[in-house]
Structure formats: C-alpha cells, structure tokens
Amino acid sequence: MRRNWLGRSALVLLPAAAAGVLTAVATQPSAAYQASPAYHVSSAFYAAPAAPVTAQLTASTESIGGRILDEAETRTGDWYVYGGAGPSVFDCSGLVYWASHKLGVNLPRTTYAMLSSSLLYQVSSPRRGDLAFYGTGHVEFVTTWSHMTFGAQNTGTRVGWHTWNAYWHPTMYFRIR
C-alpha cells in the first residue's frame, strides 16, 4: 500500500501494460481513520466516500398570500376600471380575484363576498400578502412597507403601491387560508 507524506492512503495511477492507458487503483485508508465515522479527510490524495443524501421536498416558506401578491405585482401599471377583473384592467377586488385564481385559490369576485368567505380569517398583526380592507368597499394587499398597500385604487389610477394615512387607511386585515 502506498502512502503520502502524511501517512494517508493515496490514489495511485499505474500505466496499463498493453493498452497504454492509465489505470486508477485506490488504496484503502488505515484502520485509524476508519475507526471514526465522523472523520472526513480533506486531502487532495484521498477522497472519502460520499454519504447518501436524502432531499426532502418542502412547501415554500412564503405564505399563499405572499405568492398571490407576487402574481398581482406582475400587473403593476395596468389601469383601474370599475368591474375589471383582468387580464389588463382591474378594480380593487378584481385584482385580488385574478391573482388568487392564477394560483388556484378561489376567492370570490367582490369585496363584500370576500369578507364573508371561509377562505379568509381576520388577523390583528398583518403580514405581506394579507388583505387590507378599507371599510367594506375597498381591498388591497399588505406589503412589507409601513403605511403602504398594493392594489387597484380608483378610477384614473394605475395598479401599484399606495400610501395610506390617518384619513384613508385599512380598517381590518384578513389572511388567506
């Protein structure tokens, strides 16, 4: 058995007699290294056998509301049109309806119907992707920015981010199941 200068096993390349091709012969590590299963040699002369890796598929860490908001944000700049539900014009609930249906969440079409939907539950600490209701007649998405929501606001505006204030602000928040 050939060893490198540290006493570890080495990969030795030997020429093949007739074919003129190099043949690789791997030597085994010494018993001292095999005794500790946690020991992994980090040497250019020895490559420890790879441990089997089991990949586990997990759901996205982003909430369904966050993913729906991501979809809605692709419509930034589209015009507000009362009764619009996409694909290029929206009203407030039409944008929420369109984006949620793109991801297979069947929210109702109108703001009033959304408020009575079993797919929503009220929360006191909103997070990105939750729905912010301005009274019972307007809905937008909660963003990560303070005092700002995303949605279709009113006639003559475009879909986008809107700042709220003491006079125009969400009165309740709902999370999507």
Please report the pLDDT score of residue 164 as a whole number: 92
Please report the pLDDT score of residue 48 as a whole number: 52
Q: Running along the chain, 177 residues long, what does each successive block of 10 average in pLDDT?
A: 50 49 49 47 51 50 94 97 96 98 96 96 97 94 95 96 93 96
Please report the pLDDT score of residue 36 as a whole number: 45
**Longest CA pairwise span in the chain (Å):** 90
